[in-house]
Structure 1
Amino acid sequence: MEQIIADMYHETQTPYPVIFARLAAAILFGGIIGLEREARDRPAGLRTHILVSLAAAMFAIISIESVHMPGFADDQVRIDPLRVIEAVTAGVAFLAAGMIVFSRGEVKGLTTGAGMWLSGGIGLALGFGHWFIAAFATGAALVVLFILARMQIALGMEEKQGPAAVDDEKAGG
């Protein structure tokens, strides 16, 4: 039993409070993007974006920690954190592609898929400890999703969508 408990609390390269802060930030930042998608009544919203960002952050943290594990210190064992980035990117791209639908001659879900992909990237950035990069990317996503969407609507390039559009239709407008 002692060995199991010791295995649960082994030393890490990154202190546990930092790891937990990175994971919490991935939840927060992924949630910010997910809230916008949720507000527009998109299929992949708050929970999906949080899970994508959290998973990506976790994979990055595991990658960092694996490089420093005593069992992997052998010259014959090579752990490449870039492969984690590639794997997360491919996995999230697969999920995002599932959000894209071609229906009645229109492509739908591209922005949601891109948001999921970005959430994965933000999670990776946080997992590797790049807080400012993740914060900037989250802020940039908000600009794209909120401000540019409003500009497109104002210029007549995009129809109003989400709960407000539903209310407008009910009101006859």
Structure 2
Amino acid sequence: MTRRIVLIWTVSIMASAAMVLSAMPRWRSAHEQASATSARMQDIARHVEALHALPEADAQSPTSDRLLANRIASIVARAGLTSGTIISVSPESERVLKTVGTTQALQRRATLTLQAPSLRDLGRFLSLWRDEEPRWVITAIDLKPQRSDAARGGDLPVLAVLTMTVHDARESEIKR
């Protein structure tokens, strides 16, 4: 090879290297920006998934007020009682019992008042409730006899106030 060709190749290689090196800072900046954008997009995708999961989590939650009333009504009907038997369903807000790390132990109570079921009907309701809602534990029962014109020797209607409790655990939300 002639000296001239070697010189041309050397200049070409040096010019190419200079162009590549001059583009390097812009490439790094673009790469960092793309990485940050990608991380932000993944974070947004996680938030969107969390938002989509909220109604499902509410529907699956044993402490959902809306679904608790529906489940009680369903079990009352299967126990052979009328819907008018339910006087009130009063769920209380969740209470944090203990926090260990990021996990919280929660307790939730609800009070259910049933009017005029017989003791036999109440027992049937309690049996169905225990079978279908094992997480909600009946922690107190207050019975008051109701006066009625029931046939002599028949079941005496009662007013039943049931206190139910559920315990749950969940990850606490970290406030930023």
TM-score, normalised relative to structure 1: 0.23
More helix by share: 1
Give TM-score scaled by structure 2 length.
Answer: 0.23
More strand by share: 2
Higher relative contact order (Cα pairs below 8 Å, separated by 6+ residues): 1
Structure number with greater Rg is 2
